[in-house]
Amino acid sequence: FWTEIAITPTSEVEEGQVLAVIRDISDRKEIEKMREAMLSNISHEMRTPLTAMLGFLEFVIENPVGETELREYHTIMHREAERLNEMITNFLDMQRLKAKLFENHFKPVDLRSLVEGVVALFAGPAAIHSIVVDVPATLPPVLGDAELLHQAIANLLSNAVKYSPRGSEITLDARMEGERAILSVKDRGIGIPRESLEKVFDMFYRVQITSKHHATGTGLGLALVKEIAETHKGQVWAESTLGQGSTFYVSLPVVGNDQKQTGDQA
Ligand code: ADP
22-50 per-position pLDDT tens digit: 655 666 666 666 667 767 777 788 888 89
Say which range, 7-21, 74-88, 118-132, 182-196, has the weakest mean pLDDT.
7-21
Distance from residue 175's CA to the centre of ligand 1 (Å)? 24
221 lines ligand 1 (CB under 6 A): yes
Distance from residue 159's CA to the centre of ligand 1 (Å)? 6
**Helix ranges (DSSP H) in the chain:** 15-62, 67-101, 111-122, 146-162, 208-213, 221-231, 257-265
Parallel, antiparallel or unpaired: strands 169-177 and 142-144 = unpaired
Say which range, 10-14, 31-35, 122-126, 134-138, has the weakest mean pLDDT.
10-14
Question: Average per-residue pLDDT in the chain?
Answer: 83
pTM to 2 decimals?
A: 0.75
With H, G, I as helix, E, B as strand and everything else as coil, classify residue 247: strand
By most ligand atoms within 8 Å of CB, the mutation choice from 163, 185, 204, 214 for ligand 1 is 163
User: Nearest to residue 226, comparing CAs of 172, 147, 152?
Assistant: 152
203 lines ligand 1 (CB under 6 A): no
- Across the range 70-89, mean pLDDT stands at 89
Contacts of 152 (CB under 8 A, 6+ apart): 224, 225, 228, 229, 250
Q: What is the ipTM of this complex?
A: 0.98
Inform me whether the pLDDT recorded for 1 exceeds 50.
no
Q: Indicate the burial class of 92 (C-beta count within 10 angstroms; 0-12, 13-18, 19 or more).
A: exposed
Q: With bands split at pLDDT 50, 70 and 90, how would you rate the model's confidence at 7?
A: very low
By most ligand atoms within 8 Å of CB, the mutation choice from 192, 226, 237 for ligand 1 is 192
Inform me whether the pLDDT recorded for 258 exceeds 80.
no
Residues 196-235 pLDDT 10s = 999 999 988 889 877 666 656 778 889 889 989 988 899 9
